[in-house]
Amino acid sequence: MVPEKWVQSLFLLIVGIFTHASGAFVGINIGTDVSNLPPTSDLVAILKAHQITHVRLYDADSHILKALSASGIEVMVGVLNEEILSIGESASAAATWINKNVAAYLPSTNITAIAVGSEVLTSIPNAAPVLVSAMNYLHKALVAANLNFQVKVSTPQSMDIIPRSFPPSTATFNSSWNSTIYQLLQFLKNTNSYYMLNAYPYYGYTKGDGIFPIDYALFRPLSSVKQIVDPNTLFHYDSMFDAMVDATYYSIEAFNFSGIPIVVTETGWPWFGGADEPDATVANAETFINNLIKRVLNNSGPPSQPRMPINSYIYELFNEDKRPGPASEETWGVLFANGSAVYPLQLSTSDRITENSSVVFCVVKPGADSDKLQDGLNWACGPGQANCTAIQSGQTCYYPDTIENHASYAYNDYYQKMRSVGGTCDFSGTAMTTTNDPSSGSCHFAGSSNSNTSTGGLSPPVAFGPTNPLDGSSSSMHSLRLQHLISAAFFALVLL
């Protein structure tokens, strides 16, 4: 009889094989500092509606991990910064963490990576001496549980540990971290893991004192007189994003390591900011995110590593309105809490977008005054004769239970009924029109292709990853790798 533990190991090995057999992916970060975070069941419905196949959690939220069970979505879980010291000093603490936050959910929830902390070297440098120890202990716990083929361990770092990132060919890590970085790279190489990079062209541009044009940060074409060229390699850089990734590859190379892929664990652009943040606009955020998707899904790497695709996670899914700091900290999300897109999102490999070109919806304007919204909601459901049954408690559009969600539904219902006879979408300046369908899950707004009052067809939503929920690198490299891994899997089966 085949031992059950061996069968599970083989199953996870085969999962690991096919997990890395397809093209590059664009995933997304899910933060929970949201006042009206939708229920986890709605969250998974939103992810599936937008064909998102890879997500990163900043912790190991049990409710979200349970909800993601059997979804097929690949999940990266996180060790919190405040957990690193205890895990880095205790193998038993690491084993407990793995058993509680990873092994307990596999294989049903498809956990494939652990991000140990967030920008540890620059945010909590006192934990740096035990960072790699924590990673080693976690990896050994995975080995003991026969999960090391399925789950990789790494740690996200910011671009700040590279003091001068341009030109990329001369970039090096901050020498004060040499010992830790060498240990980190050695660990990644030994465990066949990857370097996690948080790369934000938004900050590279806004803190760059005008050195680089904004088109360079937004992936827009540069004129012939504004080409960005590394004077040492003569490589042309079409985007700041590529230059950041390449600077990191060169910094790794300076330690005499090669073959360690880079995965961008955070990148994005805020769509609203304060008076001193003029570049945080909807137009810029839309341009950056859609161009990022196109860039990543072309399956190529930066100039120095053209065969190493840049798998990336967008920062972030929802607007985290509870985050402290400047106004822009609250507006990095690509979706509102009801699942509707902040701006149209386009998949580069097709003409599909998350908007309905033949239908205009009326929704709440971001930042609208709550008192005015309440007045507008009362009017729409009263004198305006909007059908507000669906936003009553227990009905399909009650959640998220927010004034913004309820007002959007009521405003839109009124607008769809009355615009043909002069009804407007204003509501004392609290409303705006959009071609983004705000429907989510079983909640269908009037005018949606899924509602009984549809006036047009909704294009399929953007896919933040390939239709097949798998990831990987260039096809030629993976074809060879896949052949060897499949052979190994069948050989293991014979041995069983």
With residue 405 as reference, give the H or E element that holds it. helix 403-418
CA distance 58 to 132: 19
* Count of Cβ atoms closer than 10 Å to residue 210 Cβ: 7
**Of the listed 82, 83, 253, 266, which one is catalytic?**
266
Q: What is the DSSP string of 281-312?
A: -HHHHHHHHHHHHHHHTT----TT-TTS---E
The residues, any chain, with a CB within 8 Å of residue 197's CB and separated by 6 or more, are 156, 157, 159, 244, 245, 248, 262, 263, 264, 265
* Count of Cβ atoms closer than 10 Å to residue 277 Cβ: 17
* Count of Cβ atoms closer than 10 Å to residue 122 Cβ: 16
With residue 201 as reference, give the H or E element that holds it. helix 201-206
The one-letter code for the residue type at 108 is S
Closest CA to 445 of 362, 344, 368: 362
**Of the listed 74, 83, 119, 329, which one is catalytic?**
119
The one-letter code for the residue type at 474 is S
Q: What is the DSSP string of 416-480?
A: HHHGGGT--S-TTTTEEEESS---BTTB--TT-TTSTT--SPPPPPPPSS-SSS---S-HHHHHH
Instruction: Reply yes or no on whether 329 is catalytic.
Output: no
CA distance 3 to 431: 62
How many Å is the Cα radius of gyration of the chain? 24
Closest CA to 241 of 165, 156, 182, 342: 165
Instruction: Reply yes or no on whether 266 is catalytic.
Output: yes
The per-type count for the chain, helices as H runs and strands as E runs, is: 15, 13
> Taking a C-beta distance cutoff of 8 angstroms, is the pair 57, 333 a contact?
no
For residue 143, the SS3 value is: helix
Active-site residues, by number, are 119, 266
